[in-house]
Amino acid sequence: MTDALGSIDMPERGRSEDEAAESQKKPRRGGKRGKKGPFARLALFYRQIVAELRKVVWPTRSQLSTYTSVVIVFVVIIIGLVTVIDLGINRVVGYVFG
C-alpha cells in the first residue's frame, strides 16, 4: 500500500541496517548519574543551586531601594488607572440600566 509520500510498508530510505538495529535497542541510562542514590542526587542538586546563586549579580542596597520604589509607584499608578476605569464603567452601566 502506498500513499503520497511513498510506501508505508518499506523502511525509510537512507538508513542502514545498523542504524535500524540501534534504534530498536533500549536507551542507555545517564551513565554515572543513573547509578547514584537519591541522597547523592539531592546533594548534587543543592551544590548546583549554590553554584548558580554564586553567578548571580546581586543589586546593591541603593539599587534595591530604587527598584522597589519604582515598582511601588508603578503599582499605585496602575491601581489608580483601574479605579478610574471601573468608576467610569460603573457610571455608564448605572446610566444605561438605572
pLDDT tens string 7-36? 566 555 555 656 655 556 666 655 555 578
Is residue 90 in some structural domain?
yes
The H or E element containing residue 7 is: strand 6-7
For the entire predicted model, the pTM comes to 0.48
| 67 Cβ contact list (under 8 Å, min separation 6) | 59
Say if residue 1's pLDDT is above 90.
no
Is residue 17 in some structural domain?
no
**Any idea what the Cα angle at residue 45 is, between residues 40 and 48, rounded to 5°?**
125
Is residue 92 in some structural domain?
yes
Is residue 8 in some structural domain?
no
- Number of domains the chain contains: 1
Q: Cell numbers at residue 30, please?
A: 545517564
pLDDT tens string 47-91? 999 999 999 999 999 999 999 999 999 999 999 999 999 999 999
Is residue 64 in some structural domain?
yes
